[in-house]
């Protein structure tokens, strides 16, 4: 449920509104909801309905989706009606008839034989038929729920695909996405909501039918009033209590963090031994004894807390559990024993009525259970409805999460042919930049200009800010201060898609996507992602000469997104429950786990091929080439030919390189920037910088000496 507008912003430090609590090793911060306001049910309900109305738009969206397949929707509703109402009422009616028969027998009036037989066979038959209907209902349910999962999974792909880097990394958005994942797969709000929608109608019908049966019993047997009243009283009181204190259970905002270094280390050890990417370090580093020793200590110290992961659902149970321990709640709980006590008193006072009382008791219980459960259903429907629409809001609104990198509206470039042929100019004007959630400047007051068609090389110390410059040009991040201009226009004003389309870029921290190797290359220019010839050409330019060793060629995967699954029988198992088993061949013929392993240089060539794909296929649109250490993992021959290829491919385009190597490239550079600690210390051509005799000259000499001395 959405929070009240008047509630102050959530701040963990604000102890007057946010209460700190502990669950295991977790620090919980819960925004205090207003104290229980004792309102007339109507008032509380009205406020509640207003909130529902606001969030109802999302339910409406969902409803439109559901009825887009009217056949399934109506069938689902009808089967629900049949199973939940028709059969249940029928069975209740049969019970009432049996009671009638028994009462008559008590008065020495034997039942009519066929009627009695009908009742005796009718009851089990109704149950069996009800079971069939239930099975059919479950199958329908499953189909609808899969359909909805598909709907939301698809929406999640769209919602995720459009997020920029800072927004995606933002912890609030990350947690929203995580929750949405959960909602969309394991705990779909729409499924609950769908049940709510059909339940509204069904509950009303069931409620009426149960009431009718109950009323008939009471009218017929006078001394049942007390019993019926006793059966109804506790749940009615409970419900009344819930309704008037409704406000107190409205929305809450919370956050949880764990600061226990032992738990954090324990989780780190778990991941170290569990994840494939750390295996080599674990094996070669002989980490096994250390991990076991530390795990032993931590397991002992942490006890059960070691396995108390934070779980948002458990947390809400915890909140509810806490709410249960109020005196009022305990008293209400005790009231549940009243009906049995009343029955005992009635029996003690009138022992001869005992058989009839017991028989009536069964019917009353059955009917009351029906009425009460429907009343609770009705009561919770509102709450579930509100919770679901709130969750739905989260799912639908993900598509509207505002990106931190705001799109511009000026098309770029003005003249495509000119840009592709002559490149672009770039200017950094007093640019400073801090990465999100850090306090240190990665760039400090950086200003420079790169002319159209120029080759610029950025060199310098580790962490001096070279990669950061390239990330700011592509607007992965925006500067904290200052501005960047491309062809004289502030890049923030340009359409992001156009800007990025005009840049062929290879980052140092590139990643190989969990897609086929061919597609990894092809996606350098998405329009030609399936063009095998273009992919082959880009691969040749990147000197990929290992395609034949890839098993399935460019259809191979470095990281397969679908894993095979195996029966988890312990190695060496030959029998199960006395039966012989042989699962030696269980891994043969499986497909998904055939991941290819490549060397660092080979992997980098795939990333280079992707950037070259953009340069070749998008030749008439790309005006700027950015390469961040593209040869870091390559041998000297591969590096030499890569640089040669790049110079040839570049034509008149502007190119910026970040590099630690002085020689192959810096010789050809129109301008070199020498960086340290986020600043440009020296700039000029290689000759100028060597003549200057500063930091660049020193580094250059160090590298040169390695070859000459
Ligand atoms: N994603 C990030 N989040 C926080 N800080 C970052 C991030 N990426 C880089 N930094 C920091 O910003 C500074 C500049 O990093 P950058 O990657 O631009 O350096 P670099 O000159 O390219 O280094 P290298 O030569 O090692 O590649 C460094 O201090 C680094 O720790």
Cβ of 439 closer than 6 Å to ligand 1, yes or no, is no
Report the pLDDT value the prediction gives residue 321, as an integer from 0 to 100.
62
577, part of any domain: no
Q: Are residues 213 and 254 in the same domain?
A: yes
**pLDDT tens, residue by residue, 642-669:** 888 888 888 899 999 998 877 778 888 9
Q: How far apart are CA 486 and CA 481, in angstroms?
A: 17
Residue nearest to atom 25 of ligand 1 (CA): 462
101, part of any domain: yes
99 class by beta-carbon count within 10 Å (0-12 exposed, 13-18 middle, 19+ buried): buried
Tell me the three state secondary structure of residue 635: coil
595: DSSP letter: B
User: Is the bond preceding 413 in cis, omega lying within 30 degrees of 0?
Assistant: yes
Q: How far apart are CA 95 and CA 119, in angstroms?
A: 8
104, part of any domain: yes
Identity of the highest mean pLDDT range in 262-266, 346-350, 351-355: 262-266
Report the pLDDT value the prediction gives residue 501, as an integer from 0 to 100.
93
pLDDT band, residue 250 (cuts 50/70/90): very low
Q: Are residues 532 and 659 in the same domain?
A: no
Given ligand 1 and candidates 428, 431, 463, 660, which is best to mutate, with the most ligand atoms within 8 Å of its CB? 463
Mean pLDDT, rounded, for 158-162: 90
Q: Are residues 255 and 326 in the same domain?
A: yes
Q: Are residues 45 and 137 in the same domain?
A: yes
The alpha carbon of 380 and the centre of ligand 1 are apart by a number of angstroms equal to 52
State residue 630 phi and psi, 5-degree precision: -70, -15
Q: How far apart are CA 248 and CA 33, in angstroms?
A: 7
pLDDT band, residue 2 (cuts 50/70/90): very low
Q: Are residues 49 and 169 in the same domain?
A: yes
Least confident of 138-142, 421-425, 592-596, 670-674: 592-596
Q: Which residue has the higher pLDDT, 587 or 510?
A: 510
pLDDT band, residue 5 (cuts 50/70/90): very low
pTM over 0.90: no
Q: In CATH, what number is assigned to the domain containing residue 316? A: 1.20.1560
Q: Are residues 388 and 465 in the same domain?
A: no
10, part of any domain: no
Q: At what angle do helices 189-220 and 87-106 cross, to 10 degrees?
A: 20
Residue nearest to atom 7 of ligand 1 (CA): 435
Mean pLDDT, rounded, for 400-419: 91
**Chain CA centroid to CA 260, Å:** 25
Nearest-CA neighbor of 432 among 479, 490, 473? 479
Q: Which of 400, 417, 449 is the last residue of a domain?
A: 400
Mean pLDDT, rounded, for 145-152: 83
Average pLDDT taken over every residue of the chain: 82
What tokens does 371 get? 């009425």
The alpha carbon of 470 and the centre of ligand 1 are apart by a number of angstroms equal to 11
Nearest-CA neighbor of 126 among 155, 164, 97, 159? 97
Query: What value, to the nearest 5°, has the Cα angle with vertex 69 and ends 65 and 70?
Result: 110
Cβ of 463 closer than 6 Å to ligand 1, yes or no, is yes
Report the pLDDT value the prediction gives residue 189, as an integer from 0 to 100.
65
Q: Is the pLDDT of residue 240 over 80?
A: no
pLDDT band, residue 587 (cuts 50/70/90): low
**pLDDT tens, residue by residue, 26-54:** 888 877 665 545 555 556 567 667 767 77
The alpha carbon of 166 and the centre of ligand 1 are apart by a number of angstroms equal to 15
Tell me the CA distances in angstroms from 149 to 73, 276, 304, 459, 648, one per residue in order: 16, 30, 34, 50, 50
DSSP letter string, 118-174? HHHHHHHHHHHHHHHHHHHHHHHHHHHHHHHHHHHHHHHHHHHHT--HHHHH-HHHH
Identity of the highest mean pLDDT range in 131-140, 353-362, 623-632: 623-632
Mean pLDDT, rounded, for 266-290: 87
Mean pLDDT, rounded, for 540-555: 86
Q: Are residues 168 and 246 in the same domain?
A: yes
Tell me the three state secondary structure of residue 59: helix
Q: Are residues 652 and 709 in the same domain?
A: yes
Q: In CATH, what number is assigned to the domain containing residue 433? A: 3.40.50.300
State the alpha helices, DSSP H only, in 162-224. 165-169, 171-185, 189-220
Q: How many domains does the chain have?
A: 3
Cβ of 464 closer than 6 Å to ligand 1, yes or no, is yes
474, part of any domain: yes
Q: Which of 374, 400, 426 is the last residue of a domain?
A: 400
Cβ of 462 closer than 6 Å to ligand 1, yes or no, is yes
Report the pLDDT value the prediction gives residue 39, as an integer from 0 to 100.
54
571, part of any domain: no
DSSP letter string, 452-479? TT-EEEEEESTTSSHHHHHHHHTTSS--
Tell me the CA distances in angstroms from 241 to 228, 245, 332, 473, 546, one per residue in order: 20, 6, 9, 61, 73
Domain range for 453 is 407-502+622-709
Q: How far apart are CA 193 and CA 150, in angstroms?
A: 16
171 class by beta-carbon count within 10 Å (0-12 exposed, 13-18 middle, 19+ buried): exposed
Residue nearest to atom 2 of ligand 1 (CA): 435
Q: Is the pLDDT of residue 592 over 60?
A: no
Check: CB of residue 653 under 8 Å from CB of residue 622: yes
Tell me the three state secondary structure of residue 644: helix
Q: Are residues 553 and 607 in the same domain?
A: yes
4, part of any domain: no
**pLDDT tens, residue by residue, 600-647:** 889 999 999 999 999 999 999 999 999 998 887 878 888 888 888 888
Q: Are residues 66 and 123 in the same domain?
A: yes
State residue 15 phi and psi, 5-degree precision: -70, -15
Q: Are residues 67 and 41 in the same domain?
A: yes
The alpha carbon of 441 and the centre of ligand 1 are apart by a number of angstroms equal to 10
5, part of any domain: no
Q: Are residues 40 and 162 in the same domain?
A: yes
Q: Which atom of ligand 1 is nearest to the CA of 169?
A: 1
Q: How far apart are CA 331 and CA 145, in angstroms?
A: 40
Q: Is the pLDDT of residue 147 over 90?
A: no
679: DSSP letter: E
Report the pLDDT value the prediction gives residue 258, as an integer from 0 to 100.
85
Q: Is the pLDDT of residue 357 over 60?
A: yes
């Amino acid at each position: 449920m959405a929070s009240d507008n008047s509630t102050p912003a959530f701040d963990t430090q604000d102890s007057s509104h946010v209460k700190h609590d502990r669950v295991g090793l977790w620090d919980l911060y819960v925004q205090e909801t207003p104290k229980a306001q004792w309102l007339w049910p109507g008032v509380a309900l009205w406020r509640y309905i207003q909130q529902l109305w606001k969030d109802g738009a999302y339910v409406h969206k969902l409803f439109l989706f559901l009825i887009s397949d009217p056949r399934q929707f109506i069938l689902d509703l009808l089967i629900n009606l049949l199973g939940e109402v028709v059969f249940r009422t029928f069975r209740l009616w049969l019970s009432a008839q049996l009671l009638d028969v028994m009462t008559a027998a008590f008065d020495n009036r034997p039942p009519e034989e066929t009627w009695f037989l009908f009742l005796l066979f009718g009851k089990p038959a109704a149950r069996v038929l009800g079971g069939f209907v239930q099975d059919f209902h479950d199958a329908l349910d499953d189909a609808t729920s899969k359909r909805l999962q598909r709907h939301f999974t698809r929406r999640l792909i769209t919602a995720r695909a459009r997020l920029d880097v800072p927004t995606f990394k933002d912890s609030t958005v990350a947690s929203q996405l995580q929750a949405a994942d959960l909602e969309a797969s394991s705990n779909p709000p729409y499924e609950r909501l769908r049940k709510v929608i059909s339940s509204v109608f069904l509950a009303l019908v069931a409620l009426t039918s149960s009431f009718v049966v109950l009323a008939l019993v009471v009218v017929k047997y006078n001394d049942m009033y007390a019993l019926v009243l006793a059966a109804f009283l506790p749940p009615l009181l409970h419900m009344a209590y819930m309704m008037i204190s409704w406000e107190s259970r409205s929305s809450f905002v919370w956050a949880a963090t764990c600061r226990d270094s032992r738990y954090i280390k324990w989780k780190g050890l778990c991941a170290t031994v569990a994840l494939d990417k750390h295996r080599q370090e674990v094996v070669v580093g002989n980490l096994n004894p250390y991990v076991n020793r530390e795990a032993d200590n931590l397991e002992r110290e942490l006890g059960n807390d070691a396995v108390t992961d934070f779980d948002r659902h458990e947390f809400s149970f915890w909140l509810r559990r806490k709410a249960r321990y109020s005196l009022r709640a305990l008293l209400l709980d005790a009231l549940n024993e009243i009906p049995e006590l009343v029955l005992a008193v009635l029996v003690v006072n009138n022992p001869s009525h005992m058989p009839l009382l017991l028989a009536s008791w069964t019917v009353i219980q059955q009917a009351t259970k029906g009425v009460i459960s429907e009343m609770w259903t009705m009561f919770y429907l509102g709450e579930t409805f509100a919770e679901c629409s709130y969750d739905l809001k989260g799912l639908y609104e993900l598509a509207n999460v505002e990106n931190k990198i705001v799109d511009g509206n000026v098309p770029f470039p003005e003249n495509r042919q000119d840009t592709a042929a002559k490149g672009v100019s770039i200017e950094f004007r007093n640019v400073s930049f801090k990465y999100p959630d850090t306090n240190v400047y990665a760039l400090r007051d950086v200003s420079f200009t790169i002319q159209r068609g120029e080759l610029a090389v950025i060199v310098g110390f580790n962490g001096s800010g070279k990669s950061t410059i390239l990330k700011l040009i592509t607007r992965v991040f925006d500067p904290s201060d200052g501005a960047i201009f491309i062809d004289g226009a502030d890049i923030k004003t340009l359409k992001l898609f156009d800007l990025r389309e005009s840049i062929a870029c290879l980052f140092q921290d590139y990643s190989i996507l969990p897609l086929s190797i061919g597609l990894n290359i092809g996606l350098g220019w998405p329009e030609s992602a399936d063009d095998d010839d273009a992919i082959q050409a880009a691969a040749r330019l990147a000197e990929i000469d290992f395609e034949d060793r890839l098993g399935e060629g460019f259809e191979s995967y470095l990281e397969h997104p679908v894993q095979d699954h195996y029966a988890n029988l312990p190695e060496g198992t030959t029998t199960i429950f006395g039966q012989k088993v042989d699962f030696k061949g269980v891994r043969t013929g499986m497909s998904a786990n055939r991941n290819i392993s490549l060397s660092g240089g080979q992997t980098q060539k795939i990333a280079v091929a992707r950037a070259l794909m953009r340069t070749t296929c998008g030749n008439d649109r790309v005006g700027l080439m950015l390469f961040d250490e593209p040869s870091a993992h390559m041998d000297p021959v591969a590096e030499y030919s890569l640089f040669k290829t790049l110079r040839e491919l570049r034509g008149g385009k502007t190119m910026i390189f970040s590099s630690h190597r002085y020689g192959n490239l810096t010789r050809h550079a129109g301008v070199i920037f020498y960086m340290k600690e986020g600043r440009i210390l020296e700039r000029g051509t290689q000759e100028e910088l060597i003549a200057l005799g500063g930091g660049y000259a020193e580094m250059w000499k160090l590298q040169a000496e390695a070859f000459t001395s």
